[in-house]
Amino acid sequence: MTTEDNNAPVLIETLPSGGGYRVGLATLNAPKSLNALTRDMVDILLPQLQQWQADDSIACVVLRGSGDKGFCAGGDVVQLRNSSLAGDGAAAAFFEQEYRLDYLIHTYSKPIVVWGHGIVMGGGLGLLAGASHRVVTAKTRLAMPEVTIGLYPDVGGSWFLNKMPGRSGLFVALTGVSINAGDTLYLGLADHFLAHEQWAEFIAGLGDMSWAEPVSHSADLTRLLQGLSTSAGEPPVSAVREHYDVIQAMTAGPTLEEVVTAITSYSGDDKWLAGAAKTLASGCPTTVYLIAEQLKRSLHMSLREAFQMELVLSANCMGFPNFAEGVRALLVDKDQQPKFEPATLAAVTPELVAAHFVPPWDGANPLDDL
């Protein structure tokens, strides 16, 4: 099976392999937007992954992005902003389907490889984080910069940020800092470091697999990727690991306000820390509080509960003005001067934060059936 339309938002292929098995290959196909995730993409991927999961002839699934610059630069936030301004509910519907897709990847019954080359941001990380075999390359650049647009780290961030070493998840979320392949391995967001040029070799290796028993398919795939990694060289040094003690010290304050002050008052020569401080200082004050509350509430949640909470948060963020204003300043008018409301941390009230966690619908959460 091959997608007949080469302009389709997701290209679908099945590749022949050994033992009578096949490999499902899905390619995000919007290289001009760095494969930004759209509703059309989600509506193709979700049923396709479900179909492959039920097909006994499919040994594993591979997900990649087209082009050489990025796997997925996140959700199409301009379209989400348009929906937010129109109040038409399309944004909330997108989040529901996106989280269903992310949850499916986390709980997939077959091995699923995500080739996380180049830019991986926001919604792209949602696709990467839950895969059983997550590949990164020398050019992988990952970030969750939602603090700059008045959103928060969703797509399962409530689940995986709390599992990072120490308080590095809080730091990454608050600062939207860019991290590399070495960081992703250290933080538990990736499993294998390969050269992007090894893609063809990887695909050839999948074609040669024998796939003896379904129970061993994950181990078979791990052996293939580990074998390829021996010639991939060393991953870049992890900035998060190098700065772990500093991050712990900066985030040790007894109040959120003190944590923010510790980060934003950095005045040293370290460019990575300086960049993190600058982004947080110009970020959305309400988002800062949402992140702290998000991680606090989700600390002992199941994956299912985390996605249900995120759907509430995301739907509510569409009803408050900060998201539309943040996207306007960053991507629409591009004046880089967002006017967030409230404008300061001190003006953010507990009542405003709590309102974001109140379900905006009557009855059951739409993701209760996960």
Q: Catalytic residues, which ones?
A: 75, 123, 146, 154
3-state secondary structure of 361: coil
Cα–Cα dist 3/124, whole Å: 22
Cα–Cα dist 75/65, whole Å: 14
Please, is 244 exposed, middle or buried when counting C-beta atoms within 10 Å of its C-beta (0-12, 13-18, 19+)?
A: middle
**Which residue is listed with tokens 């990380």?**
125
Give the phi and the psi of residue 357 in degrees, each rounded to 5.
-100, 5
**Which residue is listed with tokens 């061993």?**
216
Cα–Cα dist 230/135, whole Å: 14
Beta carbons of 158 and 310 less than 8 angstroms apart: yes
Give the tokens for residue 185: 């391995």
**Which residue is listed with tokens 């739409």?**
366
Cα–Cα dist 331/80, whole Å: 12
Is the link from the previous residue into 342 a cis peptide, with omega within 30 of 0?
A: yes
